[in-house]
Structure 1
Amino acid sequence: MRTWIFTIVLFLFSLFFSVPRIFAVSEFTTTLRAQYTVDARGNTHVKQEIRIVNNISTIYVTQYSFDVGSTTLQNVRVIGKDGAALPTSVTTTGGNTHIALHFPDKVVGKDKERIFIIEYDHPDIAVVAGNVLEVDIPSLVKPDQFQTYSAVLQVPASFGDPVRVEPSTYIPKHTDQTYEMTFNQAYKGVHVLFGTKQIYRFQLRYHVSNPSISPGVSQVALPPDTNYQKIQYTAIQPKPDSIEKDKDGNWIATFTVGGQKEMDITAEGYATVFLEPTTQVPSGRPDKAYTQPQKYWETQDPEIQKLAKQLKTPQAIYNYVAKTLSYSYERLNQQTQSRFGAVEALKRPTEALCQEFTDTFIALARAAGIPARELNGFAYTANPRLRPLSLVADVLHAWPEYYDAEKQQWIQVDPTWGNTTGGVNFFTLLDLNHIVFAIHGVLSEKPYPAGMYKIAGKEEKDVLVQVDRGVPQDDIHVSLETDVRLPSEFGVFSQTDLLVRNLTGSAWYDIPVDIAVSQGLSLEKGTQKSIPILLPYQVEKARIIIGPSLVFTQNTGKVEASVGDTTTSYETTVGRNLLPLALGIGAVILAGAAGGVLVLKRRR
């Protein structure tokens, strides 16, 4: 997280001499009131009013300096209580801006106060992206220098009420034009999020090849729906042979590639990311595979086992990983980055990248009996130092998720960003910046996410993602075909497979199949009246079983099936006319019974 470092140079004053020395903070009472005014574009004007009160009559302040964790500050100025500019020097070094000022006058005497105001424009405090405003007010490195500290955030009222605020205690103030929040003693910084969803537009390219002389099959992982995101494809070229969902929830697209041929696959569309997990996407309760060891997730290692027994909960594991590992910007800049795994990451805690934070969380969670898995994908960031991206090629970020048995939900967390932002809580609520490309649970390395399907000589950028403000309207639209199976010679029922082809780039869930039959026909047990999931461009079957409405009859009638706004119909003949046979059998039985009666009568 961005931080402020304050330095005060103090002098001893007497009638005879002035000698500099170091004094305790208690010799002054210092108050800081910082106001952050954010406009509709995310530009932030910072105004810091600082009051320094002398607690001892012979000590006063002659200089003051502080550092801001950014090198892009603009329009820095410092004024005194009277509005006059104070001598100020501004330098940048080591990623920080250093502001130093000198006081030309002397404020001497107990309870005397010096008031001055520091103003500047800060481009990194707030980010407006699409439908979302995100604000990060920095923490104070030396909070004990300030006896009183308040941070006031003011944003346009058009952003609405915040959906995530840390710390949660603040004083709100509404006007027609602005929304204001006052935080008292917020020494650890402030994080505020406005907006419940974010929309991204993406273009992904996959490069596959078939070295065999015969046609072959290639599979790629397309970004799937999760309980945090909804995907809508506008184009997949060429069209896949099929799209299937694997155990982890990945969408696996299959393509036929000619012998000794290469194929470039392009997937374009929109991703809508939600702040809170939804229940729309069915996931099911994870089985024991999600607590088992895998490569890089060494759950049986003695140290991992020991830590898991101590930590026990997802929250404790997250806190431990975020605080124990340190993000290595130096290693990030290396050309090659090998994956450590959890055990090696704990041995080299200062060399971690996002993959190490993720692997360590998963290994500890699984060792504690908590189902956990890895997410690979894209993470939108306006400040790569605070929220770094560190995987190779175009796959930019990795983060874990764990299964909450009480909520029956997978919960995404990001200990990497929890570390690099200096403590912003990415456990309770993630954010709107993470897009999942691939899910690793059954295996720790596959399927490969978008950005890792490369061919020698085609080292180009294959992941393009940008914020958008809207997504095209999309309603379920299908085509229907029927495969009618006539009843066997002695059969009574007809069975029909209704082939439902999704013509859209979205997945649909719990889709009703409405079936109507004409008089004389009836729907039989085993008829499928809904489709649990229909993936983009996928074909699913719904079985329809028709029988006669009355026994011993044979009927021909019409069956009408509807899915969404599409309807199809067909004729079918069901049942057997068994009435003549039944009458004949009945006559024989009656004749036999009558003959028996006559015989009995003659014997009398």
Structure 2
Amino acid sequence: MKKNHVIPDPIRNLYKKPGSRVKHGMTAIFVILFIVCCFIFPVVSRANDFETTAETFYYLDNPPTTKTVHKITIKNTNPTVYLTSYSLIFSEAEIDNVNCLSNSTSVPCVRYTENERTHIKVDFNDIVAGKNAVRHLEISYQNLSLAKMEGNTTDIFLPSQAKDDNSQNTIYLNVNKKLGALIYFSQKADSVSENGNYQIFRFRGDNLPKGVWASFGNTQYYNFSLGYRLSGNPRSLALPPDTAYQKIYLESILPAPKSVAVDADGNWIATFERNVTQVKVVGQIQVFPKPRLGFSPVSPQKEPSPATNRYWSITNPKLLDIAKNLKTPQDINRYVVDLLSYDKNKINQDQILRLGANVAFLSPASAVCSEYTDLFVALAKLHNLPVAEVNGYAVNNDLDLEPTLLGKNILHAWPQYWDGATWKQVDPTWEDTGGRDYFKSFDLKHVTFVIHRTDPVYPYPPDTYQVVFGKPFGDTPAEIKTKTGVGWSIFPLGLNLEIDLTNRGRTSLENESVKVSFSETEKNIVFLPPYGTYKTSFYVSPKAMINLTQKNPTVNVAGVKHDIIGIKTQVIYIFLITFFAPIIVILGLLLFLRHK
């Protein structure tokens, strides 16, 4: 089953300004080859009286301003006709600083709005006549309607070009490197190059029937404040975890947890005292557009047992038969996007019932994000593919293109799957509603709160949440210095030093070394969340024990040294027991035998 997607007018949906009027579905920019013609002889002008070659340059340096330059070459093919004026016509746009040159000479041009369209008209002061005579025209201006910046991310839309058999148009998007790397293009560029501070993307104008969406950025920061209500025993909750797409920086957890551990799904489970009923968590999330390769605190080697719950267990015979041919995540994603349709009427309902995969299949027009996700997860689990539901916050620009149920205090849901190297997130809901390919590339708008791989419901996401762009924009959070709490005990023979390391920093430790001053042995912390504890032990040789009787040892964690205070006294005590106890026993035995 194939469903046609209608992509709404991007200018209307993403860049519409208050009070502006843009007709839906209108071509964003096109060139009228001639408006008024003068004739050497009284003949009727036709479109093939001229051949036009155009190059359009977009310079993106300081969003939302985009400098646009049209370089147009007009060649006469009819010796009896010449141009007296030329016009560019757009869907209504916010432009400024219009300048026009004809054959390198400044010429008058006017900008005006008519019938909800913006016109730039150039009047020529000279005559360029004769067959094959050429006029070089340059029109430049600043456009405030094409680009939009949110936090550290820049989105831009390049409008489609009108088709004309007698014109050729090439488009160049020049993006300043300071705006970050390419996150997404709705259409692949014909060529990519660099020139100084610019990344340059080249397109053929006739190859852009719907225009081009593009997004740039390296990372995004969000400040969050989350509230939890606790009950039952144990008192625990799921903190936003590190994932392949995000890094967590905790400012505060009030009250502080007793411990934090990573569960089988990758969630950070914080445990509290039994009298705690409410918890507030404040921090910052750094989001990445691509997964961090190699990040996997939880091994996906074995998929949990086949789903038996009502959300992910497929029982419909027809769906089971269809699923036989959906063996890859890409096949599954394509099927889900084509089958389901987002039900916007549910946004107005007081209660939204989660349907599950079987009901979603039978009622494809009644889907919201949970149905897209549950059907994807259920089909993947049927083939034992490592997969999970992600529940979290999504920053949306337009409820038509990127719908969420945040107004109902229901978070957005999307799937993730293991591709053999990392966890990859996809969003079939937004791919269906917005037309963007979320399987090939992701974005910087999704924030993970909880991961459901083993259970479709637990752990719960936060009860209340507030997520805003991090401030100041573009600043990296301060360098984190991890504080460690060191606990130790020494076996009676003095052969091992046991150490408990508790991460008291704001962020997790990943692949960090642990060394002690008395040994060449090095241990490795694969992953340790804030408030998490790592237990290890080091062998203490007799020579090392003698050295430890003279000074306290140190433990080096992630390049930071920490003194193990008080160890010297205990080492002396154990040293005396270890080496002098046998002598005392022998002397005691000799005295006993002598008196006997």
**CA displacement at 1:543 relative to structure 2:** 3.1
**CA displacement at 1:80 relative to structure 2:** 13
Counterpart residue identity of residue 476, structure 1: T
Counterpart residue identity of residue 437, structure 1: F
The aligned counterpart of 2:485 is 479
Which one has a larger percent strand, Structure 1 or Structure 2? 1
**CA displacement at 1:471 relative to structure 2:** 0.8
**CA displacement at 1:232 relative to structure 2:** 1.6
The C-alpha deviation readout for 1:497-523, integer Å capped at 9, x for no partner, is 3121222021113343323549xxxx9
Give 3-state SS (helix, strand or coil) of 2:359's partner.
helix
1: CA distance, partners of 2:332 / 2:159:
25
The aligned counterpart of 1:129 is 151
1: CA distance, partners of 2:444 / 2:362:
32
**CA displacement at 1:198 relative to structure 2:** 1.4
Change (3 A) 1:249 1:350: same
2: CA distance, partners of 1:390 / 1:530:
42
Counterpart residue identity of residue 417, structure 1: W
1: CA distance, partners of 2:48 / 2:366:
39
Give 3-state SS (helix, strand or coil) of 2:377's partner.
helix
Give 3-state SS (helix, strand or coil) of 1:288's partner.
coil
Say if 2:256 is the partner of 1:244. Answer: no
The aligned counterpart of 1:598 is none
The aligned counterpart of 2:228 is 207
The aligned counterpart of 1:445 is 457
Could you tell me which of 203, 217, 221 is aligned with 1:183? 203
- Does the Cα contact within 8 Å between 2:147 and 2:154 map onto a contact in 1? no
2: CA distance, partners of 1:159 / 1:317:
34
Greater mean deviation of Cα atoms: 118-127 or 294-303: 118-127
Say if 2:224 is the partner of 1:228. Answer: no
2: CA distance, partners of 1:198 / 1:373:
24
Unaligned runs of 5+ in 1: 10-17, 19-24, 57-63, 93-97, 105-109, 455-460, 487-491, 583-604
The aligned counterpart of 2:527 is 533
The aligned counterpart of 1:512 is 513
Give 3-state SS (helix, strand or coil) of 2:325's partner.
helix
Change (3 A) 1:47 1:394: farther
Counterpart residue identity of residue 156, structure 1: N
2: CA distance, partners of 1:226 / 1:400:
13
Say if 2:566 is the partner of 1:560. Answer: no
2: CA distance, partners of 1:145 / 1:353:
44
Give 3-state SS (helix, strand or coil) of 2:299's partner.
coil
**CA displacement at 1:33 relative to structure 2:** 5.6
**CA displacement at 1:441 relative to structure 2:** 0.7
Say if 2:384 is the partner of 1:369. Answer: yes
**CA displacement at 1:310 relative to structure 2:** 2.2
Give 3-state SS (helix, strand or coil) of 1:289's partner.
coil
Show the 5 A alignment for 1:170-569: 170-172=191-193, 174-175=195-196, 178-185=198-205, 186-187=207-208, 189-195=211-217, 197-210=218-231, 217-258=234-275, 262-273=277-288, 275-289=290-304, 292-391=307-406, 393=408, 396-405=411-420, 407=421, 409-423=422-436, 425-450=437-462, 453=463, 462-466=466-470, 468-486=474-492, 492=493, 494-517=495-518, 529-546=523-540, 558=549, 560-564=553-557, 565-568=561-564, 569=567
Give 3-state SS (helix, strand or coil) of 1:265's partner.
strand
**CA displacement at 1:474 relative to structure 2:** 1.0
- Does the Cα contact within 8 Å between 1:31 and 1:148 map onto a contact in 2? yes
Greater mean deviation of Cα atoms: 573-582 or 392-401: 573-582
What's the Cα RMSD here? 5.1
Could you tell me which of 63, 68, 72 is aligned with 1:41? 63
Counterpart residue identity of residue 447, structure 2: I
The C-alpha deviation readout for 1:257-280, integer Å capped at 9, x for no partner, is 53xx74242322342435242324
The C-alpha deviation readout for 1:83-133, integer Å capped at 9, x for no partner, is 7778975567xxxxx6799999xxxxx999999989783545343532x43
Task: Report the structure number with the largest CA radius of gyration.
Answer: 1
Change (3 A) 1:218 1:512: same
- Does the Cα contact within 8 Å between 1:332 and 1:353 map onto a contact in 2? no
The aligned counterpart of 1:21 is none
Change (3 A) 1:315 1:149: farther
- Does the Cα contact within 8 Å between 2:155 and 2:214 map onto a contact in 1? yes
2: CA distance, partners of 1:472 / 1:179:
29
Change (3 A) 1:36 1:320: farther
Change (3 A) 1:383 1:47: farther
- Does the Cα contact within 8 Å between 2:340 and 2:367 map onto a contact in 1? yes
Task: Tell me the matched-pair count.
Answer: 530
2: CA distance, partners of 1:529 / 1:390:
46
Aligned residues with identical type, % of pairs: 25
2: CA distance, partners of 1:90 / 1:440:
54
The C-alpha deviation readout for 1:338-361, integer Å capped at 9, x for no partner, is 323233333443443332322222
- Does the Cα contact within 8 Å between 1:152 and 1:180 map onto a contact in 2? yes
Unaligned runs of 5+ in 2: 1-6, 12-25, 33-43, 79-86, 124-130, 587-596
1: CA distance, partners of 2:548 / 2:75:
95
Counterpart residue identity of residue 567, structure 1: D
Give 3-state SS (helix, strand or coil) of 1:282's partner.
coil
Task: Report the TM-score when normalising by structure 2.
Answer: 0.71
2: CA distance, partners of 1:534 / 1:264:
22
Change (3 A) 1:103 1:161: closer
**CA displacement at 1:229 relative to structure 2:** 1.7
